[in-house]
Amino acid sequence: MNHLREFLGLDEAVFVEIPKEGTDGPGRSNGAVSPALADLEVGSLKPYLEELRRGETVNLSDTSDVKSGQGEKHGLVPAKSLLAIPIASHNSTYLARFSTRIARRWPDELVSRLRVVGEIFAAILERQMALETLGESEERNRALVTAMTEVAWRANAVGEVLLTSSGWQRLTGQSDQQMCGFGWLNAVHPDDRDRTQRAWAEAVKLKRLYQDEFRVQTAGGSFRFLAVRAVPIFGHDGRVREWIGAHSDITDRRRAEEDLRKLTERLLTSQDEERRRIARELHDGTVQNLGVIIFNLQQLQKLRPFQENKIQKVMSNNISLCQQIVKEIRTLSYLLHPPLLDEVGLASALQWYVRGFVQRSGIEIELDLLGDIGRLPSEVEIALFRVVQEGLANIRRHSGSPSGSIGLRRDRDLMILQVRDVGCGLMREMPIPEATWSCWGWEF
């Protein structure tokens, strides 16, 4: 603006943002804000403020509107002639203000050229502000990524990592050069590497969300679990432009899950051991004692010739009750922990249990053991047996189903168990399938 002022022989040339109505901010300018804004408030332009906001040019070739002393108090140049051109841009309205201490005309051609100069100034100012905003945004993002516990990274359209935050280097000890491309896979645990590479390649090929968990070797040589999530960024042509992802350290979570799993195993083991103890005591103690009572009652009945029919009937009832108690305790003992489960394995124990369930409940159950089940680890056999117990109990108590089926098959190191019935456990307003069923799988 100073070069323009000197070239045109002006006493003042100022470029400033016009404050929006109802705001008190000083506005942005090329460094000479105060005089122009003061002129808008108390000087020669005050009567024309509304016209300027509407985009109308103020062309005063001879004015004495600025009273003596008032303009100087606000830093104004005593203007004899004045030109004020409002410049509208995308985000704001600016004011290009030119004045002289002597009267002069402002021809239309000069006004047009000065308007072009003002528009150029507005574009430069807004570009400068946009760059400052962008720089601030990038600085905030950089600080955020640095402060994050996650490892942020960027990959190209074919899945080659281009850039990662410093967290990856701190975690694995890999340099930027070592981890770029597909070098980051070298830090992945050897047992997880092939699976991780296939999962990433498939996500890139299908252009879909990538989620995975794997172990990486740290700079200290230990391994930690990471959870990764990445999304594709598409261009206007629908093609993937790049991938943005982040890794989170989930080692503490995985350890907590492992501790919970072990605690659950110990709880189930303790529970089953207690079942075994109770079953053994019932079988070896209570049942034996009841057997002795029955034997004594029978011997008493033989040794003493009772004549009274009533006493004879009471003795017979006691013997029957004791026999029934023995039967129920034996059944309870077997249900708590079937001896067959330890002696001959899961298949025989299930066959015995299903036969007894059909006799007790009247519900027809089809047991389908596919292939050679063989012997399994003790904890797996117990878990599968308990699931069958609970499934059949639910059929009896809740489903109202007259029949059901149990399917068990072994697929290498995987056991697949299915308990199925034709009950009516859902409300009528909900879609009811032809059959309700549950399926579990154990890997061992």
- Tens digits of per-residue pLDDT, 423-438? 765 554 444 444 444 4
Q: In whole angstroms, how far apart are CA 21 and each of 49, 54, 118?
A: 10, 11, 21
Residues 349, 367: Cα–Cα separation, whole Å: 12
Q: Answer whether 149-249 and 345-444 agree in fold.
A: no
Mean pLDDT, residues 42-71: 65
Helix, strand, or coil (residue 381) = helix
Burial code (b: 16+ CB inside 10 Å, e: under 16) for 127-165 equals eeeeeeeeeeeeeeeeeebeeeebbbbebebebebeebb
pLDDT of 51: 78
pLDDT of 44: 57
Residues 323, 317: Cα–Cα separation, whole Å: 10
Handedness of CA 20, 22, 25, 26 (dihedral sign): positive
Are 94 and 17 in contact, with CB atoms under 8 Å apart? yes
Helix, strand, or coil (residue 263) = helix
Per CATH, which fold does 149-249 belong to? Beta-Lactamase (3.30.450)
CA 422 to chain centre: 37
pLDDT of 67: 41
Per-residue confidence band for 323, with pLDDT thresholds at 50, 70 and 90: confident
Are 163 and 245 in contact, with CB atoms under 8 Å apart? no
Report pLDDT digits (tens) over 279-288.
776 767 677 7
Report pLDDT digits (tens) over 80-95.
788 888 888 777 788 8
Residues 260, 112: Cα–Cα separation, whole Å: 78
Mean pLDDT, residues 2-13: 79
Mean pLDDT, residues 322-338: 74
Residues 109, 417: Cα–Cα separation, whole Å: 91
The dihedral formed by the CA atoms of 275, 278, 279 and 282, expressed in degrees to the nearest 10: -170
Closest CA to 37 of 58, 57, 15: 15
- Rounded to the nearest integer, the mean pLDDT of the chain is 77
Helix extents (H) in 148-250 = 166-172, 176-179, 190-206
Indicate the helix (H) or strand (E) that contains 392. helix 378-394
CATH, domain 345-444, list 3.30.565.10, 3.30.420.10, 2.40.50.140, 3.90.1150.10: 3.30.565.10
| Higher pLDDT pick, 412 / 68 | 412
Q: Which segment, 61-75, 333-347, 363-377, is predicted with the most confidence on average?
A: 363-377
| Sheet arrangement for strand 58-60 | 12-17, 93-100, 81-88, 58-60
The dihedral formed by the CA atoms of 422, 424, 429 and 432, expressed in degrees to the nearest 10: -10
User: Domains of the chain: which residue ranges?
Assistant: 2-142, 149-249, 253-337, 345-444
Residue 71 pLDDT > 60: no
Residue 23 pLDDT > 70: no
Mean pLDDT, residues 249-254: 90
CA 235-240-242 angle, to 5 degrees, is: 95
Number of neighbours of residue 443 by Cβ within 10 angstroms: 9
Are 163 and 189 in contact, with CB atoms under 8 Å apart? no
Indicate the helix (H) or strand (E) that contains 88. strand 81-88
Axis-axis angle for helices 251-281, 309-336 (nearest 10)? 150
Residue 381 pLDDT > 60: yes
Residues 22, 326: Cα–Cα separation, whole Å: 94
pLDDT of 143: 57
CATH top-level class for 2-142?
A: alpha beta
Residues 228, 171: Cα–Cα separation, whole Å: 14
Number of neighbours of residue 28 by Cβ within 10 angstroms: 15
Residues 305, 314: Cα–Cα separation, whole Å: 14
Residues 13, 97: Cα–Cα separation, whole Å: 6
